[in-house]
Amino acid sequence: MHWSDVMAQRLAERGQNHIVATGITPSGEFHIGHLREILTGDMIVRAAQKAGLNAELVFVVDNADPLRKVYPFLSDDYHALIGHQLGSIPAPDANGHPDWSRFENEGWSYGDHFLAPFLDALAQIGVEPKLLPNLEAYQSGKFAAATKRACDEPGAIREIIERVSGRELSEDWFPWQPLDSKGSLDGVVVTGYEYPMVHWRDAHGIEGVSDITKGEGKLPWRLDWPAKWGFNGITCEPFGKDHGAAGGSYDTGKEIARFFGHEPPTPLTYEWISLRGQGAMSSSTGNTVGPIEALELVPPEILRYLIANSKPNKAIEFDTGMGLVNLADDFERWSSRDLQEELSDSSLSRRQRVQLEDTETALALASPKVGNAVSATSVSFRHLALLAQIKTEDVEVWRSLAASHDLEEPTVELHDRLRRMRNWIASPHFPDEMRISVRKTPSEEALADLEAEHLQVINCLHKALSNQPWTNEGITAAFKAAAESSSTGMRQVYRVCYAVFMGKERGPRLAPILANCDRTEMLDLVVACSNMVERKPASG
């Protein structure tokens, strides 16, 4: 059974109505790691709905969290804003300076700034969760009941956290972090409490009160989380392995939730996504691939497929190079198969059946639209990458596909893919292995593999090419002529050509590529190769 269906089954045992929560702090650029959080939630919701449950996806925007530090993309002006809530400070402008005017005029906050593009990406990828901005929840008093409970009995909360996490809380710890005289959550000491006011003294020596029903502060994370499970009615939540560690925030959250008077959500811990060869992704180090960036390269269904087809506890290495090509081709191959048909074969072993079923589910989940299986384009990524490099005009690509793939009219998906493919090729992520490059100088290595008798072919080639117009047809004719005059087969000619022009044993059809190269340079290359091979038998 697919992991999403396992979760749905677990939820069905729990009840009929479900709210699946995801939550992210908008402290910097979002990356595809965050996408796993949201997509995992989205896929659970789909599976639950498929199983006949009512399920909704919500996205808690943790914009009540404070700014932790001045990230590399921020100007020093942000030093003064450390500890301030992300939803109540201005967004950085193009130079990383706080954009106060936009903040004051439109209320455009730091959190909004980073959230907006992520939501755009989510829309493209077929996920439109209900947004639950946390800061606003505090300000409208949604946290008040849980907060009161915690502040009334801080000892009970302290006991849970210390026992479950094995961590000792400081003497002055209090289950509410008030905002100080400047609006920061840092360095404030609680000096007293009588509902609904928490008394405090800040780092500047100023004293004041904080109304817990008006969001004049926030709960510490380990309480914030279980509190919002309650008033939002969360029944299921996927979260990263950091929260899932023993004694981590889910463990303490479970008990605190019950203390608040509700059942914790059904959890699903998932592994992180790392960038191939570069370790875990992190907004603060800038070691990221944004969802937007990823979507410039690959269609949404491929990204969804990556998540759907990886079990949550499996770490994913995101590879924007060859890995992406293989992933996309893998997706393409599977989606062009008729799995229903294959599953009707009763001779399948249980193992084979499970494999097909899970893949079928993953493919369904890969579609940005529910119940709308992504139709196979039947054009592999490799092939499209090739065409996109050879043909500068889209029309040319379609013409070629019409001939080779019986393609009558390019579909919307194909247009889309070609557009993204061109972006990818233009980006630094495009793997060299896929890049078509014609040699400027002979490849000693490739030529060394040729037999002495091939020398003749090279000479014939030069002659033949010289006698033909420098066009696709002319060059093709020249290849044939070279085969005839050197009295060998076309296979040999191609082998020599790939060695000469690309330094490889095989490759894409050469004529159209050469036609786009400079004639003189190519003829010189042939001569240079000829010279190099000529010397070889003499010296050895």
Partner RNA sequence: GGGCCUGUAGCUCAGUCAGGUAGAGCGUCGGACUUUUAAUCCGAUGGUCGCGGGUUCGAACCCCGUCGGGCCCGCCA
The smaller minimum CB distance to RNA, of residues 23 and 213, is found at 23
Under the criterion CB under 7 A, does residue 429 sit at the interface with RNA? no
Q: Is the dihedral of CA 413, 419, 424, 425 positive or negative?
A: positive
Phi and psi at 378, nearest 5°, equal 60, 10
| Sole window of 80-88, 185-193, 206-214, 247-255 interacting with RNA (rule: CB under 7 A) | 247-255
In whole angstroms, how close is the CB of 358 to RNA at the nearest point?
Answer: 5
- In the chain, how long is the greatest CA-to-CA distance? 101
CB atoms within 10 A of CB 383: 17
Site membership for RNA, residue 272 (CB under 7 A): yes
Q: How far is the CB of 493 from RNA (least distance, A)?
A: 8
Based on CB atoms, which residue is closest to RNA, 156 or 390?
390
- Cα R_g (the chain), whole angstroms: 31
Q: Give the span between the Cα atoms of 206 and 181, in whole angstroms.
A: 7
Kindly tell me which of 415 and 435 has the beta carbon lying closer to RNA. Answer: 435
Min separation Cβ 234 and RNA, Å: 14
Residues between 299 and 328 that touch RNA (CB under 7 A)? 310-311, 313-315, 317, 326
Choose between 250 and 259: whose C-beta lies nearer to RNA. Answer: 250
Contact flag: residue 276 with RNA (CB under 7 A): no
84 and 38 Cβ atoms separated by less than 8 Å: no
Supply the minimum distance, in Å, between the C-beta of residue 271 and RNA. Answer: 6
Subset of 396-425 contacting RNA (CB under 7 A): 400, 403-404
For RNA, the closer of residues 131 and 206 by Cβ is 131
Q: Kindly identify the residues of this chain, within the stretch 333-352, that bind RNA according to CB under 7 A.
A: 333, 349, 351-352
For the bound state, the minimum distance from the C-beta of residue 8 to RNA, rounded and expressed in Å, comes to 13
Stretch that binds RNA, among 27-35, 152-160, 170-178, 457-465 (CB under 7 A): 27-35
Question: Cβ 150 to RNA, closest distance in Å?
Answer: 16
| DSSP of 186-204 | TT-EEEEEETTEEEEE-TT
Contact flag: residue 73 with RNA (CB under 7 A):
no
Q: Is 59 in the site for RNA (CB under 7 A)?
A: no
Angle formed at CA 461 by CA 460 and CA 463, multiple of 5 degrees = 65
Taking CB under 7 A as the rule, does residue 25 contact RNA?
A: yes
Shortest Å distance, C-beta 317 to RNA: 7
Between 24 and 144, whose beta carbon lies closer to RNA?
Answer: 24
| Dist CA 511 CA 518 (whole Å) | 13
Spatial CA neighbour of 458 closest among 405, 382, 380, 526 = 526
Distance between CA atoms of 521 and 439, rounded to whole angstroms?
10
Count of residues touching RNA (by CB under 7 A) = 80
For RNA, the closer of residues 262 and 399 by Cβ is 399
Is residue 117 a contact residue for RNA (CB under 7 A)?
Answer: no
Tell me: does residue 103 bind RNA (CB under 7 A): no
Q: For residues 34-53, which are near RNA according to CB under 7 A?
A: 34, 36-37
Binder to RNA among 93, 136, 162, 271 (CB under 7 A)? 271
- The CA-based angle 404-408-414, given to 5 degrees, is 80
Buried b (16+ CB within 10 A) or exposed e, 164-194: bbeeebeeeebbbbbbbeeebbeebebeebe
Residue 81 near RNA by CB under 7 A: no
Name residues contacting RNA, limited to 195-234 (CB under 7 A): 221-222
Minimum separation from the CB atom of position 455 to RNA (A):
19
Q: Which residue carries 């303490």 as its tokens?
A: 252
Q: Is 393 helix (H, G, I), strand (E, B) or coil?
A: coil
Q: How far apart are CA 241 and CA 234, in angstroms?
A: 19
Interface positions, 152-181, toward RNA (CB under 7 A): 165-167
Q: Alpha carbon of 69 to those of 86, 204, 221, 263, 285: distances in Å?
A: 11, 19, 17, 35, 12
- Rama region for 84: left / alpha / beta (φ>0; ψ in -120 to 50; rest): beta
Encoding tokens for residue 256? 């605190």
Residue 291 interacting with RNA (CB under 7 A): no
Binding status of residue 369 toward RNA by CB under 7 A: no
Give yes or no for residue 394 binding RNA (CB under 7 A): no
Residue 85 binds to RNA (criterion: CB under 7 A): no
Determine the angle formed by the axes of helices 350-366 and 322-335, rounding to 10 degrees: 110
Check: CB of residue 303 under 8 Å from CB of residue 125: yes
In the window 447-506, what residues touch RNA (CB under 7 A)?
A: 489-491, 494, 498, 502, 504, 506
Is there binding between residue 33 and RNA (CB under 7 A)?
yes
Question: What phi, psi does 280 have (nearest 5°)?
Answer: -65, 155
Q: Judged by CB under 7 A, which stretch of 96-104, 191-199, 381-389, 523-531 contacts RNA?
A: 381-389
* 145 scored as a contact of RNA (CB under 7 A): no
31 binds RNA (CB under 7 A): yes
